[in-house]
């Protein structure tokens, strides 16, 4: 019996695969039978991710997607793809009254500009197969306000709007485009200035399920969107937050 959730025979690219959510997505994709190409800026961490994956056809490519030449070099090394996960990104916290160009560039360059421009390269080089799936990792911050989260939230909200337009443009080729919008997930990104791990362990009790997410929680939803089981889904921005909608801390 065919398994619609299987990724066997598919080639998947995951950006920001060095750690956290990107690492979990890469590992879980390999367990489901995909050939996975992982990319990121940190060679040692990418090597760690690769060592944790199943199969011997997986590949790593070191690249900083905020640098045009490195993004172009990555695309030149890619085979035809059946799935893309745009996961690379950064976080920050700054009050609206203190925002400057450095803050905007810090978030928008990796979170918004880089994935949009990289996706354009992928389309220009025609490396995306028909019936493929493209997934952007956004954030519930795109829809739910929080103090000092405006720049990050705006950068992720822009990706949601972009992805909906991209989905319309690619629909004639049966290429699906969706966003995953996590709440708080236990990764290096959530430990920020002025907030300790102990603080977060208390705050997570505000969530209905009384915990923040694990990277694997996000990976399992991404697997579904990459698989044929979600073949009638496109243009969606799906919250996954343990019942913590509107609660970012």
- Our answer to whether residue 152 is catalytic in this structure is yes
Phi, psi of 179 (to 5 degrees): -115, 145
CB neighbours (10 Å) of residue 30?
A: 23
Q: Quote the CA–CA distance of 33 and 6 in Å, as a whole number.
A: 7
Task: List the catalytic residue out of 113, 152, 207, 220.
Answer: 152
Catalytic amino acids?
152
């Amino acid at each position: 019996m065919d398994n619609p959730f299987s990724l066997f025979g598919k080639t998947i690219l995951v950006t920001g695969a060095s750690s956290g959510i990107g690492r979990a997505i890469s590992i879980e994709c390999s367990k489901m039978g995909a050939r996975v190409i992982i990319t990121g800026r940190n060679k040692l961490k990418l090597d760690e991710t690769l060592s944790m994956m199943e199969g011997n056809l997986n590949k790593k490519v070191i690249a900083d997607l905020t640098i045009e030449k490195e993004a172009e070099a990555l695309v030149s090394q890619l085979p035809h793809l059946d799935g893309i996960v745009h996961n690379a990104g950064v976080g920050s916290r700054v009050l609206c009254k203190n925002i400057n160009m450095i803050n905007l560039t810090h978030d928008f360059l990796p979170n918004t500009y880089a994935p949009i421009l990289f996706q354009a390269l992928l389309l220009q080089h025609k490396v995306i197969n028909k019936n493929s799936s493209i997934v952007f990792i956004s954030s519930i911050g795109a829809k739910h306000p929080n103090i000092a989260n405006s720049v990050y939230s705006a950068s992720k909200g822009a990706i949601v709007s972009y992805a909906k337009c991209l989905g319309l443009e690619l629909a004639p080729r049966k290429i699906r485009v969706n966003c995953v919008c996590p709440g708080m997930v236990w990764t290096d990104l959530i430990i920020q200035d002025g907030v300790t791990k102990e603080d977060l362990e208390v705050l997570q009790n505000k969530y209905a399920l009384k915990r923040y997410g694990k990277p694997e929680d996000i990976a399992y939803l991404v697997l579904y969107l990459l698989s044929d089981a979600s073949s009638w889904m496109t243009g969606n921005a799906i919250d996954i937050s343990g019942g913590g909608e509107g609660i970012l801390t």
